[in-house]
Amino acid sequence: MTPSKGTLGKDRGYIIAIGGAERKRNNPRILRRFVELCGGEEARISVIPTATESDGTGDRYVRIFRRMKVGDVVCLNIKERDDCYRDDYSSRVEESSGVFLSGGNQLRLSTILGGTPVARAIRRLNADGLHVAGTSAGAAIIPEHMIAGGKSGPTPTRGAVQISPGLGLTNSLIIDQHFRQRDRLGRLLTAVSYNPFLTGVGLDEDTAIFINPKNEFEVVGSRAVTVVDPSELKSSSVSSAKRGQAINLVGVKLHVLASGARYNIDTREVTLPEAGH
């Protein structure tokens, strides 16, 4: 899906993609920053735990956000496509200042939410100011092109990555998560090799990007974000490689960005924090 067109004069909400395993008790700075964006104690947050089949996840995030003094936080217990047609769920999304997508399996998210009123509401409202955060699988589904699965390892190979249509809040990034913890550079390089209009973003655990309405993101968290920019790619051999074979990629630009660094998705420029900050 492509980003929804917003109402004239309204800013898009933030899009927050977290690499999974974010801190939840001791200095949970990513979740706290999300809560502050959504209005702090005035925030109205909806947790969507659809990516996981484990029953406790949604309630766990509800408790975490309550501990941060969010007065109004609920879990939308969406387990199948029919649940996405419940009017009370769509209205709750309408009334929220933030939506949080848990981790699990991103294909559960896309198959259950895809094309339903809840997905349409999230897309439309994000374009008009709703903040949307996702961790792990919840981060993977945010862009139009979603990494659904793939192989570990540093080398790009034909077939190393499976791509599926995602939620489409952004159409210029493709996002991978648990990035260095699960050794996923090869599959991210493979993903951008297929069509070099995409910029690849690999999120380490406990690390997030906060994309502002102007399409600039800031890195927040304890580890780093790897950006793979193929805009000056000279050539990619993916079309002639056989399944499992390594791909030649000539001229990919790579950045590793730690907390505080900023990246402009449109101009592809990096801004580093001043020394000492």
In whole angstroms, the minimum distance from the beta carbon of 107 to a second copy comes to 4
In whole angstroms, the minimum distance from the beta carbon of 91 to a second copy comes to 21
Distance (Å, whole) CA 50 – CA 197: 30
In whole angstroms, the minimum distance from the beta carbon of 249 to a second copy comes to 10
Catalytic (active site) residue 232: no
Q: Is 118 helix (H, G, I), strand (E, B) or coil?
A: helix
Residue 277 CB neighbours (<10 A): 6
Contacts for 108 with CB less than 8 Å, ≥ 6 apart? 50, 51, 52, 53, 137
* Binding-site ranges for a second copy (CB under 8 A): 1-3, 80-82, 105, 107-108, 110-111, 114-115, 119, 144-146, 148, 159, 162-166, 168, 171, 193-198, 230-231, 233-236, 238-240
For residues 26 and 267, which CB has a smaller minimum distance to a second copy in the complex? 267
Q: Which one of the listed residues 46, 96, 110, 136 is annotated catalytic? A: 136
For residues 36 and 53, which CB has a smaller minimum distance to a second copy in the complex? 53
Catalytic (active site) residue 136: yes
For residues 13 and 200, which CB has a smaller minimum distance to a second copy in the complex? 200
Q: Which helix (H) or strand (E) holds 162?
A: strand 161-165
Range list of H helices, the chain: 29-37, 56-67, 87-94, 106-113, 117-127, 137-140, 185-194
Cβ(194)–Cβ(224) below 8 Å = no
Q: Which one of the listed residues 178, 193, 218, 236 is annotated catalytic? A: 178
In whole angstroms, the minimum distance from the beta carbon of 140 to a second copy comes to 12
Distance (Å, whole) CA 156 – CA 238: 9
Across the chain, which distance is largest between two alpha carbons, in Å? 56
Cβ(31)–Cβ(20) below 8 Å = no
Residue with tokens 């699965």: 149
For residues 9 and 276, which CB has a smaller minimum distance to a second copy in the complex? 9
Q: Which one of the listed residues 22, 145, 193, 205 is annotated catalytic? A: 205
In whole angstroms, the minimum distance from the beta carbon of 238 to a second copy comes to 6
For residues 52 and 226, which CB has a smaller minimum distance to a second copy in the complex? 52
Catalytic (active site) residue 178: yes
Give catalytic residue positions: 136, 178, 205
